[in-house]
Each structure stands twice: as structure tokens, then as C-alpha cells.
Amino acid sequence: MRRSTTVLLGAVATAAAAALTTALPADAATTATTTTTFSLTGGALDITAPATADLSSFPVNAGFVSGNLGDVIVTDGRGNAGASWTASVSATAVTGSGTAEGVTLPAENVSYDPGSISATNVTATGLRLQSLSATPQATVAGTGGTGVNFATWNPTLGVTIPAASAVTGTYTVTLSHSVA
């Protein structure tokens, strides 16, 4: 009888050892990695300009009037490496009102100077336009843009007033800024 007890104890020990082996893996991981991806989508190319500007008052015999319009801003949110864009401006004829009712000066009498340009993540250069027209003309070019880029300028608008058209009153010209 003693012999069967020894065999029984040996079988129990073997079963316990087998249970421990399957319960604990021999080479358990101590780290895990996760490859994660995400996407950035491009935005828009946009230009903003002041809705109105007042160049001030000048004597009727000034011959030439000028003043700043306020900040014009190009925002390139397309996120393209090496991006470029061109800002353009056009003008309507200059029309008089009040005592100057009926006085009209052609858009060619209007000049546009972007002046100094502040730029971020793009190289921006300006071109002074001696006379505007109803057709958009390039005035500021952005090149080599990276990521989101910006350019800001405060252009000077000038209007040549021939002596024969120098009538007291208020004059209006509408500028259109665009970017492509």
C-alpha cells in the first residue's frame, strides 16, 4: 500500500507543475507599441481689406491727394510647401457727390502703393501701381510659403485731380482686392 501512495503523490506534483507552467507565460511582454497616424487638411487662401477708408480733406487746388487705406491681409491656410500666391487690386472710376455731383475721374487717375509688407512663413514683395483700372492688376506676390503663411500691408492710395475737375465735394472710389 505504501507504493501506491508514492505514485499518487508524484502524480499530484506533476499536475501542479503543469498548471503553473500554463498559468504564467515564460516570456511575458514588458512593453507594447502602437503606431498612430493623423492627417492635416488644407484650408483656404483668403484676403481681407478694410470695408471703408477716409483719406481726409484736402484743399480744392491740391492736384493730388493720398492716404492709407488700412491693413490688407493675405492668409494662406492651404498648408502647401513652397506655396505662392498673387494679390491684385482693381478700381472703379472716381465719382463725385454733393457739389461735385457729376464729376467723374477715370480709375487710371488712382495709384496704389502697398508700401512695406510684413510677412510670416512667406517671402512677399510689392509692386507700386501708377494707375489702376477695372481689370485686376498684381500688386503683392508671395513666394516660397511654408505651412500657414501671412502677409500684411497698409497701402497708400493716391488720386490725381486735374484742375478742370477740381470741384468741392465728396469723392468715392471702390477698390477690389483679390488673391489667387
Q: How many residues does the chain have?
A: 180
Q: Which residues on neighbouring strands pair with residue 175, listed in sequence order?
A: 91
Q: Is residue 169 part of a domain?
A: yes
Q: Is residue 58 part of a domain?
A: yes
Quote the domain boundaries for residue 101: 45-179
More confident residue, 27 or 22: 27
The answer to whether residue 16 scores a pLDDT higher than 90 is no
Q: Is residue 15 part of a domain?
A: no
Q: What is the dihedral of CA 94, 98, 102, 106, to 10 degrees?
A: -10
Read off the C-alpha cell for 123: 517671402
Give residue-wise pLDDT tens across range 30-74.
Answer: 999 999 999 989 899 999 999 999 999 999 999 999 999 999 999
Going by C-alpha positions, the residue among 125, 107, 105 that lies closest to residue 116 is 125
Strands (E), 80-145: 83-91, 94-97, 104-105, 110-113, 117-120, 123-126, 137-145
Q: Is residue 146 part of a domain?
A: yes
Cell 487746388, residue? 61
Predicted model pTM: 0.80
Helix (H) or strand (E) holding 149: strand 149-153
Mean pLDDT of 164-169: 94
Q: Is residue 8 part of a domain?
A: no
Q: Is residue 130 part of a domain?
A: yes
Query: How many domains are contained in the chain?
Result: 1
Q: For position 2, what pLDDT does the model report? A: 46
More confident residue, 82 or 1: 82
Q: Is residue 88 part of a domain?
A: yes
Q: Is residue 11 part of a domain?
A: no
Residue 7, by phi and psi: left (phi above 0), alpha (psi -120 to 50) or beta?
alpha
